Chain A
Amino acid sequence: MSIVMIDKLTKIYGHGETAITALREISLHIEPGELVAVMGPSGCGKSTLLHLIGGLDRPTSGRVLLDGQDLAALDDNHLTEIRRRKVGFVFQFFNLIPVLTALENAALPLMLDGIKPAEAKQRAQEWLERVGLVDRLEHRPDQLSGGQQQRVAMARALSTEPALILADEPTGNLDSRAGDEIANLLRQISDQWEQTILMVTHDPRIAAYADRIVFLKDGTIVDEAHLSGDVSRSTAGVMERMEGL
């Protein structure tokens, strides 16, 4: 069964003459363990799509089924629970709590879920070790580089072992080297731990790490590409398709 099933999803912001259609009857399936990238020009609805799948926002019409559950049917409390247990978010600006350490940030979703602090930290530490931050556990965000902060954010997203990781421009605030490292890490997460990942990016080089790329334009899916795994070759192909949009 698909982890994500989207059926005729529409999102309109505002009313009347000022209404803006961000997504127009989109349908999409994402399979377990898949790393999917969403690409498209600015304002094409990439982030809106991500927010709707993550239960951060509600669609105007259509359905989102996440791990078999229809998000539209859930009230705020249940939606919150879904976000806590089934979704891991990675944001462009990291969004770490500035007053908590790396370990505490990574353990936060577990603690919010009522897991005892010692156990939560133990599990968070394992994920921080996996993303290569074993020596930065007690550092606060302002003591870490951008790349390191994003790794903490990824450990935080992984700590609950969610059904889906949503990454919104995860490399958008990093230099190219740190960006590559994060993209590699996403690939590794997908390959080694079979995590399903949906990533929004406008960078063809980062998108080339994905298994599949969905191209959006004016709120509709205009193209899809399945990639071979060769990043350099794929990048060139992606760039070509982007130019064609």
Chain B
Amino acid sequence: MNTQLTLALRYLRGHKTRTILTTLSIVLGVMLLFGMNGMLPAIKESFSQGVKTSISLDELTVTRLANGIFGQEQVALVRNVPGVVAATGSLSRKVILPTDMAPQDQRGQLITNLTLTGLDLDSFGEINPLSLLAGRSLQPGDRAVALINQSLAENSGLGIGDHLTLPTADGVTRLEIVGIVAGFGALSGGEPLYLPLDLAQQVLNLPAQINVIEAMVAPSEDMAIVGQRVLESLGSGYQLGAVETGSEIQAVLELGDFIFSMFGIVALVMSGFIIFITFRTVVMERRRDVGMLRALGASRRTVTGIFLFESLLQGVIGTFLGLIAGYLFISWMLAVLEPMWRERLGLSLGGAQFSLGIFILSITLGVGISVLAGLYPAVVAGRMTPMDALRPAISVERKGSTRRRAIWGIVMIAASILCLLSRNVGLASLGVILFIAGLMVLLPLLVRPVTRLIGGLLTLAFAREGNIAQGNLVRQPERAAITASVIAISLAVVLGVTGLLTTLTYGVFSYMDKSLGADFLFIPSSFALGSGNVAAGPGLISAIRQVPGVEAATTLRSSFARFGETDVMVIGVDPQTYPQVSGLEFSRGDEQLAYQAMAQGNVVLANGMLATQGKLELGDDIELLTPAGMRTYTLQGIGNDYMNSKIMTLYVSQDLLAKDFFETGDVLLMLNLADNADPVTVRADLDRLEAEYPGFTLYAAQEWKDRMVQDARTRMSITYLLVAVLALPSLIGLANTLGINVLERTREIGILRAVGATRRQVQRIIMAESLLLAAIGIAFGILAGLWLGYVMTASMALVGYDLAYFFPWSGILLAVAVGLLIAVLAALHPARQASKLQIITALQYE
């Protein structure tokens, strides 16, 4: 083992460039897998900074499912339950402060997240007397006063007698801080702010509503039994325990988690492939060494062990560096995203978090794939007899195996086409794998005809060397095919992902054109409509309607409901004005009839994601747990709006939202101008309204769309960077193949030089060969990439994005450019190596 390890280490050190490049491919894979999975918990955590109330041993906490609110009269029911000695109701919601209202911490960062808790001043002291550090507590009769906790006071420097301004449904309210209580808020925001219940209800536009009941149980009573009685007294839809928010966003993040994990795994599989090719190359290169070792008495196992140790060492080092790189990369990404996150969503991101599971997964995959990839070449090396290894390698094409290969390849490609035609995403995905596998099986047979086909073009640029390069490829079709496969797979991934991104971007922008088709928009603090926005009361929309030049205006309202086991967003629209100003991008159902039905009864529309995941059909009855209890609605249409396309969402009329969800506040306002209106004058009037409602920002629709497009482009460029990283392994693969070609043909190169080929001509032969290989790879990579992109787009329909496939012209150009660049870069070193060979040495080489 010692000898194997020593040899493995020495070989790795002896080929530093190759070792670095191969290890780099593992580093990249692990970095993506590990890093991305470390970032998503931070994002999830950020969304989870909602309302969370503590549960203590002698207290019961009662909340409503689906983050719901309920009437404060329910507290009386709980008080009457035998065993309950006291009960109080409170309204606790996260609020995102507009930047000009948010206090600053000592580092100058804005504290935008507050958890507003309205306390019933008559009863909260019996249950949850706050531990006062300074000033006084809240007292019956208090109005515009608040208590802050110790950490907010320390961080912001706010003290007794200072004031805090909050956005409200009617504009703003100014609170005087009268006391500081013990306790610390969450690391990433959500500092508690206690105020009288009626004031909280006014701020949040939820008159007479609460969302938490806390009850004190008599010490002699069994908590579980009393809890059960409490639930029975309240009816269905309640739970014991704290309110959890953001489950609908969590579902989206889990999808993101999955996509990023797939990205990492694809990168790792690619690195596995590259290790396989590298080791295959290495085994060929070291035939003589293997032969000599076997002649000296090294057993098959010893030889296999040397190669396995090499792949293991690379796997371990690559994984270790990948973990570090992943941590650094994600810490950097989080630092870059933090300001944007704060500004757009009003949330702060914590640091990267890595679970034990992701450590284990990354290490297992990083090391495992490396070792697995090295296994086959290692076994092949071990199987060589000393004589095989000491003789020169001869490639023999066997007729039987050619026929078998052709049959297998054609069967796989045919099966992949059937999979695609099935329109089942699972089968279509299998189809992509089958197509690529079939291509790899067939490619050695296609090398000759394709080389001849493309070779004609090549001889235009490489008149003298093109034919020699073609001959070299045709002589080693297996090796040429493997290299071309690496390029093809890399480019397929590049093209597939760019195809999907193009489709997604244009598709989501088409939702935006339709659903935000208004001339002006009042956008709330957070783009996630249900997350911490302070809704506006009826004053804002009526003021907008009175602005001269405004032809029509409409609003969106938001709430949550529980559908089965999932929380879904419920958006309230005005069926009359919403289609005039904006509207959903309908994928199913008649638009006009749907809005009419909404206006008349218990009708809902669903977005694509909910319809797909809930397997909903038009006309289905949907049972929802609402703040008013279980309700049944009929599905009349399926469509998407831009803001909520990524979250499972239902659309109901605002009347229904008020009746069953008790929500009447507007979270997004849109308006259209009359044809003859002067936009500048209207804008000036709207600006004044914006100043009165600082919880909203006014945008001209085009201005906002431009901003969204710009954001999307920034995000896309990061993704393109990741995609480019995936193309890197093919560079290593091609360089390896060309390197070994040069080595194997040392004597031939010597002969070429001896009979008069110049150094430059030798270089050009290698370059021409590289371009030929790349051209084959590009041709098949584009085919596979288009397929992959189509399947990826089709699978988005599974999660509710029913998008038309956009042909990725730019992706094809990118793939061709990347492929050719890879060809030139990969050929540089081997070409120089070949041209530098001394004729005598080359001729003596065996």
User: Which residues of A are interface residues toward B (Cβ below 8 A)?
Assistant: 51, 54, 56-57, 76-77, 80-85, 87, 89, 91, 93, 95-100, 104, 108-109, 111-113, 117, 156, 173
Is the pair A108, B299 in contact by a Cβ cutoff of 8 Å?
no
Interface: B2 (CB within 8 A): yes
Residues of chain A lying within 8 A (CB to CB) of residue B3? 108, 111-112
Residue of A nearest to B300 (CB): A76
Is the pair A80, B299 in contact by a Cβ cutoff of 8 Å?
yes
Interface: B302 (CB within 8 A): yes
Residues of chain B lying within 8 A (CB to CB) of residue A109? 296-297
Inter-chain CA distance A93–B390, complex, in Å, is: 11
Selected from B13, B295, B299, the residue in CB contact (under 8 A) with A77 is B299
Residues of chain B lying within 8 A (CB to CB) of residue A104? 6
Is the pair A108, B296 in contact by a Cβ cutoff of 8 Å?
yes
Inter-chain CA distance A85–B299, complex, in Å, is: 12
Is the pair A97, B289 in contact by a Cβ cutoff of 8 Å?
yes
Residues of chain A lying within 8 A (CB to CB) of residue B294? 80, 83
Is the pair B387, A51 in contact by a Cβ cutoff of 8 Å?
yes
Closest Cβ–Cβ distance, residue A162 to chain B (whole Å):
10
Inter-chain CA distance A163–B510, complex, in Å, is: 84
Closest Cβ–Cβ distance, residue B662 to chain A (whole Å):
76
Is the pair B292, A83 in contact by a Cβ cutoff of 8 Å?
no
Selected from B7, B13, B292, B298, the residue in CB contact (under 8 A) with A95 is B292
User: Which of B289, B291, B297, B844 has the most A CB atoms < 10 Å from its CB?
Assistant: B297
Q: A99-B14, A111-B2 are in contact. Are A54 and B295 (CB under 8 A)?
A: yes
Residues of chain B lying within 8 A (CB to CB) of residue A76? 300
Closest Cβ–Cβ distance, residue B99 to chain A (whole Å):
62
Residues of chain A lying within 8 A (CB to CB) of residue B385? 56-57
Residues of chain A lying within 8 A (CB to CB) of residue B298? 80, 84, 112
Interface: B747 (CB within 8 A): no
Selected from A85, A91, A93, A98, the residue in CB contact (under 8 A) with B297 is A85
Interface: B397 (CB within 8 A): no
Interface: B288 (CB within 8 A): yes
User: Which of B13, B288, B295 has the most A CB atoms < 10 Å from its CB?
Assistant: B295
Apart from A80-B299, A99-B11, A108-B3: 13 A-B pairs, beta carbons within 8 A: A56-B390, A57-B387, A80-B297, A83-B297, A84-B296, A93-B288, A97-B10, A97-B289, A99-B13, A99-B14, A109-B297, A112-B3, A112-B302
Is the pair B387, A56 in contact by a Cβ cutoff of 8 Å?
yes
Selected from B7, B11, B292, the residue in CB contact (under 8 A) with A91 is B292
Interface: B846 (CB within 8 A): yes
Interface: B583 (CB within 8 A): no
Q: Which of B4-28 contact A (CB under 8 A)?
A: 6-7, 10-11, 13-14
Is the pair A117, B14 in contact by a Cβ cutoff of 8 Å?
no
Inter-chain CA distance A173–B10, complex, in Å, is: 26
Residues of chain A lying within 8 A (CB to CB) of residue B387? 51, 56-57
Interface: B781 (CB within 8 A): no
Residue of A nearest to B386 (CB): A56
Is the pair B296, A89 in contact by a Cβ cutoff of 8 Å?
yes
Would you list the 6 A-B pairs with minimal beta carbon distance, nearest first?
A: A84-B297, A99-B14, A99-B10, A95-B292, A111-B3, A83-B297
Inter-chain CA distance A104–B14, complex, in Å, is: 15
Is the pair A113, B386 in contact by a Cβ cutoff of 8 Å?
no
Is the pair B296, A156 in contact by a Cβ cutoff of 8 Å?
yes
Residues of chain A lying within 8 A (CB to CB) of residue B10? 97, 99-100
Residue of A nearest to B297 (CB): A84
Inter-chain CA distance A199–B529, complex, in Å, is: 88
Inter-chain CA distance A76–B382, complex, in Å, is: 12
In the complex, 23 of the A-B residue pairs with CB atoms within 8 angstroms, ordered by the A residue number, are: A54-B295, A56-B387, A57-B386, A80-B294, A80-B299, A83-B296, A83-B297, A84-B298, A85-B297, A89-B292, A89-B296, A95-B291, A97-B292, A97-B293, A98-B14, A100-B6, A100-B10, A108-B296, A112-B293, A112-B296, A112-B297, A117-B2, A156-B296
Inter-chain CA distance A142–B782, complex, in Å, is: 45
User: Which of A80, A84, A109 has the most B CB atoms < 10 Å from its CB?
Assistant: A80
Inter-chain CA distance A96–B286, complex, in Å, is: 12
Residues of chain B lying within 8 A (CB to CB) of residue A81? 297
Residues of chain B lying within 8 A (CB to CB) of residue A51? 387
Closest Cβ–Cβ distance, residue A78 to chain B (whole Å):
10
Closest Cβ–Cβ distance, residue A129 to chain B (whole Å):
21
Closest Cβ–Cβ distance, residue A93 to chain B (whole Å):
6
Residues of chain B lying within 8 A (CB to CB) of residue A98? 14, 289
Selected from A56, A89, A97, the residue in CB contact (under 8 A) with B7 is A97
User: Which of B10, B293, B296, B385 has the most A CB atoms < 10 Å from its CB?
Assistant: B296
Residues of chain A lying within 8 A (CB to CB) of residue B7? 97, 99-100
Residues of chain B lying within 8 A (CB to CB) of residue A82? 297
Inter-chain CA distance A35–B424, complex, in Å, is: 76
Residues of chain B lying within 8 A (CB to CB) of residue A57? 385-387
Residue of A nearest to B389 (CB): A56
Residues of chain B lying within 8 A (CB to CB) of residue A108? 3, 293, 296
Closest Cβ–Cβ distance, residue A226 to chain B (whole Å):
30
Residue of B nearest to A51 (CB): B387
Is the pair A93, B846 in contact by a Cβ cutoff of 8 Å?
yes
Closest Cβ–Cβ distance, residue A118 to chain B (whole Å):
11
Closest Cβ–Cβ distance, residue A51 to chain B (whole Å):
6
Residue of A nearest to B3 (CB): A111
Inter-chain CA distance A77–B390, complex, in Å, is: 19
Closest Cβ–Cβ distance, residue A56 to chain B (whole Å):
4
Is the pair A113, B11 in contact by a Cβ cutoff of 8 Å?
no
Q: Which of B24-83 contact A (CB under 8 A)?
A: none
Residue of A nearest to B292 (CB): A95
Residue of A nearest to B301 (CB): A77
Residues of chain A lying within 8 A (CB to CB) of residue B386? 56-57, 83
Closest Cβ–Cβ distance, residue B788 to chain A (whole Å):
41
Inter-chain CA distance A99–B285, complex, in Å, is: 14
Is the pair A95, B288 in contact by a Cβ cutoff of 8 Å?
yes
Inter-chain CA distance A109–B292, complex, in Å, is: 11
Inter-chain CA distance A96–B386, complex, in Å, is: 15
Q: Which of B360-413 contact A (CB under 8 A)?
A: 385-387, 390
Closest Cβ–Cβ distance, residue B379 to chain A (whole Å):
15
Residues of chain B lying within 8 A (CB to CB) of residue A99? 7, 10-11, 13-14
Closest Cβ–Cβ distance, residue B396 to chain A (whole Å):
13
Inter-chain CA distance A100–B297, complex, in Å, is: 17
Residues of chain A lying within 8 A (CB to CB) of residue B2? 111, 117
Q: Which of B217-234 contact A (CB under 8 A)?
A: none
Residues of chain A lying within 8 A (CB to CB) of residue B11? 99
Residue of A nearest to B1 (CB): A114
Closest Cβ–Cβ distance, residue B268 to chain A (whole Å):
28
Q: A56-B386, A99-B13, A104-B6 are in contact. Are A113 and B292 (CB under 8 A)?
A: no
Residues of chain B lying within 8 A (CB to CB) of residue A56? 295, 385-387, 390
B744-784 CB contact bits vs A (8 Å, 1 = yes)? 00000000000000000000000000000000000000000
Residues of chain B lying within 8 A (CB to CB) of residue A93? 288, 846
Residue of B nearest to A94 (CB): B292
Residue of A nearest to B296 (CB): A109
Residue of B nearest to A162 (CB): B297
Closest Cβ–Cβ distance, residue A65 to chain B (whole Å):
19
